[in-house]
Amino acid sequence: MKKVLIFGAEGFAGGYLADEFKEHGYTVYGSGLTDIKDTSNMDGTFHCDITDPDRVREIVSSVNATHIVNLAAVSNVGQSWKIPQTTVDVNVNGALNILEAVRENNYDTKILLIGSSEEYNSAEGPMDETRELGGSNPYGVSKVMLEKFSSIYRDYYGMKVYHVRAFNHTGIGQGENFIIPSWCSQAADISLSKKPGVMRVGNLDLSRDFCNIRDVVRAYRLIIESDDCHEIYNVGSGQAVPLRKILEYIISLSDQPITIETDPELIRPSENPVTWCDHGKITEKLGWEPQYTIFDTVREVFDYYANRENKSK
């Protein structure tokens, strides 16, 4: 029986990943620091602070899953600058608690740990998996550390630890402290107000590779189902889109005039000017390709916010 345990299942990607596994015949268990809002796609749920090794060990032992995916993380780069110690504690030590729990129980479990494009040093052009790693912010550094530990447990203990470098992804349900939901929410609110408004934004002189969350969780499943845990894959759309272009599209969806103001609080101390995924490896080896464009995704998110007035009635 295929049985997956998802840590961080209460977060943005958790429900999408649970759906993906459920649709492919898995028994699905979810664990979250807070309540999981939708448990319809799960066969069991747990409360867990991933930084609590005893609780993690208890859940891992109870479920004895064939597959474990860790989504629990401080995942916002801006937030990671404000809480670097917590970022490392959750992103690195939390994952180590999972690895240790599996190792101590001697389970033959496949484990997928989620890395990031923020692991890469700044570079021009598309980034493939051979690009130099470094990390230019606390979040990126924590993910480089995580990848190093992944290799230790894989190579020294012989465990089936998979690692993926995921580029930016978004969709309905992502928190408004992320750029696409923030912009779509602001623009939709202005549209609903029936009068001109102001949007507050950060640095627009950047280009980003955004993927739809449904494409991303499909990639996660394909990776953890693959045979070679030593292969590390990028997951992204393959297109670096200027943030100004995305913002212009979002503004065009509003039926009210919008003025843009730069908010210094949204400017990060250090940012790669371009993140651009080369997903050739996962496409060649696992047959994965993105099915949605960033503009398809933005339209979905904007429509969600534009219709929320009706949803509340």
Note whether 81 and 219 are same-domain residues. Answer: yes
The pLDDT of residue 312 is 43
The parent domain of residue 204 ranges over 175-208+239-275+292-311
The pLDDT of residue 77 is 87
The pLDDT of residue 268 is 74
Note whether 204 and 218 are same-domain residues. Answer: no
Note whether 164 and 254 are same-domain residues. Answer: no
Q: What is the pTM of this model?
A: 0.94
Q: Which segments of the chain have a pLDDT < 50?
A: 311-313
The CATH number covering residue 80 comes to 3.40.50.720
Decide if 153 is inside a domain: yes
The pLDDT of residue 309 is 60
Note whether 194 and 104 are same-domain residues. Answer: no
Note whether 66 and 194 are same-domain residues. Answer: no
Three-state DSSP string of the chain: CCEEEEECCCCHHHHHHHHHHHCCCCEEEEEECCCCCCCCCCCEEEECCCCCHHHHHHHHHHHCCCEEEECCCCCCHHHHHHCHHHHHHHHHHHHHHHHHHHHHHCCCCEEEEEEEHHHECCCCCCECCCCCECCCCHHHHHHHHHHHHHHHHHHCCCCEEEEEEECEEECCCCCCCCHHHHHHHHHHHHHHHCCCEEEEECCCCCEECEEEHHHHHHHHHHHHHCCCCCCCEEECCCCCEEHHHHHHHHHHHCCCCEEEEECHHHCCCCCCCECCECCHHHHHHHCCCCCCCHHHHHHHHHHHHHCHHHHCC
Note whether 225 and 246 are same-domain residues. Answer: no
The CATH number covering residue 246 comes to 3.90.25.10
Note whether 52 and 12 are same-domain residues. Answer: yes
Note whether 39 and 164 are same-domain residues. Answer: yes
Note whether 48 and 143 are same-domain residues. Answer: yes
Decide if 224 is inside a domain: yes
> What would the pLDDT profile of 196-217 be if each residue is shown by its tens digit?
999 999 999 999 999 999 999 9
Note whether 139 and 18 are same-domain residues. Answer: yes
Could you give the number of structural domains in the chain? 2
